[in-house]
Amino acid sequence: MNGLQIVVLGSIVPDPLQTLEPVAGPTGPALKNELMLPAVLDPWAACALFEAANLAKKVAGSKVWLVALGPKAKLQQVMMSVAQKAPFELVVLDGPAGGFTDAAETASVLAGAVGKIPGLDKGKLLLFGGWQSASRSTGAVLSMVGEKLGVTEQFQGVDEIDLAKDGGFTVLERIEGGCYQKSHCKGAPALLGWATGSLPEPPNNPQVGMQNMRFIMPALAKAQPAPLKGEGLKHLGVEVPSQRRETRIVKNASVDDIARELADWIRA
């Protein structure tokens, strides 16, 4: 099998352990003190990156790119740690990475960046990304990027990929009920939206980090601006979900009575 060209789409998000409070900013909804929040690589995108690196290691001549859209300064901070996890070449788009950007506009910018990667061969292209997103959580951006690039073989909720010698592969996609759908694809190009995969987070490797930083710093220096104007996008309101708790202590209630009351409460 010839080498694969794996492009991973991934952005930075606020650390999930932080308290996120939406506020009304000058250009629309934003997060309170967003620039001060510590950032990480989107967890779903991180799983996709680790799976891409593992797959590239199995197929000689393969290469991995990480296409990241976000504020350049924040990306530099995050890449200092991500660079030690897996070998990749970085493509940077300097723009907003919050959860209030338009998915279609984001997809257009990302597709344009992927299409400009030098030497990219669609006959060898596997487009990886997160099945969901910790910032946008729409599950729409990755699919639209694939459509704009003409990659119509798409698989979502992927936990495993198994390559065949003829260049085809089999994937396991999550479906309802804790089950999997097993699909076979004849080969690239294809898009895989990863769930959590089956790999642990790789340990830090300073040597890999040093190799990656040789390309990451120049990529950050020549980052393409991606302002994402959001024209025509209107948010009617953004707020923290309200908490609601109603507790009653009832003794000697039958199972049928409890079930009936729960069903009535849900319907109401």
What is the secondary structure of 142-204 as a DSSP string?
A: HHHHHHHTT---EEEEEEEEEE-TTS-EEEEEEEGGGEEEEEEE-SSSEEEEESS-S-PPPPP
**CA-angle at 227, arms to 115 and 134, nearest 5°:** 80
Provide the 8-state DSSP code for 9: E
Q: What is the pLDDT of residue 178?
A: 80
Residues 164-178: b if buried by 16+ CB within 10 A, e if exposed: eeebebebbbbeeee
What mean pLDDT value characterizes the chain?
84
* Best CA proximity match to 182, nearest among 194, 174, 192: 174
Reported confidence tier of residue 69, pLDDT bands at 50, 70, 90? confident
Express each pLDDT in 146-193 by its tens digit.
999 999 999 999 999 998 888 889 999 988 878 889 999 988 899 999
Amino acid at 171: V
Task: Please identify, in words, the CATH class of the domain defined by 5-225.
Answer: alpha beta
> In the prediction, which pLDDT does 175 show?
85
Question: For the ranges 32-46, 89-103, 221-235, which has the lowest average pLDDT?
Answer: 221-235
227 CB-near residues (< 8 Å, 6+ apart): 95, 96
Residue 127 forms beta bridges with which residues? 7, 191
Ramachandran assignment for 250, one of left (phi > 0), alpha (psi -120 to 50 degrees), beta (any other): beta
Please state whether beta strands 224-225 and 89-94 pair in parallel, antiparallel, or not at all (unpaired).
parallel
DSSP letter (8 states) at residue 32: T
Round to whole Å and give the CA distance between 253 and 268.
21
Higher pLDDT, 169 or 233: 169
Q: What is the pLDDT of residue 234?
A: 66
Single out the residue of 231, 230, 240 nearest to residue 96, CA to CA: 230
Q: SS3 for 248?
A: coil
Give the number of other CB atoms < 10 A from CB of residue 243.
Answer: 5
pTM: 0.81
Interval 60-68 mean pLDDT: 91
Helix (H, G, I), strand (E, B) or coil at 14: strand
How many Cα atoms occupy the beta-carbon half-sphere of 228 within 13 Å? Answer: 24
